[in-house]
Amino acid sequence: MADPGAEFPRATIKARPEDWRVNESLGWTFTDSGEHRYLYIEKRNMNTAAVAAELARRYSVRLQDVGYAGLKDKCAITRQWFSIVTPDDAIEEEFEQSQITANDQYFRCLESGRHIRKLRRGEHHHNDFIIRLGCDLNHALPLMPKLAQPFANYFGPQRFGNDNLAAAKRWLVDRQPRRVNKARRGLYLSVARSHLFNLILAAREHQGRLTAPIAGDLQEQLKGSLWGRGRSPFTDQALAIESAAVHGEQALCHGLEMAGVNRGLRSLLAAPSNFSFAQYPAEAILELSFGLPPGAYATVMLQHCFELKDQSR
C-alpha cells in the first residue's frame, strides 16, 4: 500500500482490456480421468463469475458444480481454468471460436482435460501478468528496480467492493440480517478477514517490522493471521503487534469466531517473479511482465511505486 505522504508518478491502467493480460498456471497435471471436465478459458470484458454462470447454463449443471481457482479482472484479457462436473467432453467445441458481442466481450476454450476432483480457490501455482502502463517514462524507468522487489501483500481494494465491508460488519456484528445465502456468507467472511489482515500488515509496516522476522514469528516466517477460531500461533512481539492492530475491531473478530471459520495465515510479503519491462516512447507506454503467487494483487504491487488511474471505471 502506497505511503499516503509520498508522491508517486501517475500511471494509467486498463485503457483497453488488451492492456491488462493475465495467464493462470495450475502447476500440476491432470489425471486424464474422473468426473470433472477442466477448461482453460480466455475471456475479455467478463468477470469470472459471469463465465462460471454461462458454463453452468451450457452444461446444465448447478453453479456449485463449477469450480475455479481465483477471480480474474473484468476489464482485461485473462486466461484461467474452470472445472465442471460433467461426463460430456464435447460441449466446449461450441465455444472454441470466440464470438465478440455488442459489449466487446467474449470467452473461448483454449485447452481442456479431465481430473478426479473439483478445482478450488487458491489451488493454482501462480499468475503471469503483462500490463501496459500509460506514464511519463522519465519518471517511471528509475523505479523499475524497486518494482521488482518484494512488496507488502495487502488485499487490494477490489476485494472490498463499494459496501462489502460495511455489509459484512452488519451481518457479523449486528446480526442484520440473521441469515444470508451461502455465496453471501462466503463473501462477508472473506471481506472481514481481509480487512483484519490489512490492519495487521499496516501495523507491521508502520513499525518497520515487515522485511525480517521478529520475536514471536513462526519459525522465521513472515506471516499474518487470517482471523478465525483458535489461539493465535504468534507470541511475544509479533502477538503484541497483531493484538494492538485489531483492538478496535474486537466485535468483528468475535463475529468471525462465532461464525465458525478457522484461523489461517497469509504471507506479509509477496515477490514478483521473472520481472521484465519494455518501453514504447512514441506511445508513452511501459509494458511490464511478471508473475505473482495466488492471492497477491498486481494493483497493490503497482501502487508501491505509482499513483494509479484505472480508466475502466
Catalytic residues: 73
Confirm if 234 and 199 have CB atoms less than 8 A apart. Answer: no
Nearest one of 144, 124, 173, 169 to 25, comparing CA atoms: 124
Residues 6+ apart with CB under 8 A from 151: 269, 270, 271, 272, 300, 301, 304
Rg (CA), the chain: 21
Cα angle, residue 293 at apex, residues 292 and 298 outer, rounded to 5°: 40
DSSP string, 202-260: HHHHHTT-SSS--TTSBTTB-EEEE--BS--S--HHHHHHHHHHTGGGHHHHHHHHHTT
Distance of CA 228 to the CA centre of its chain: 20
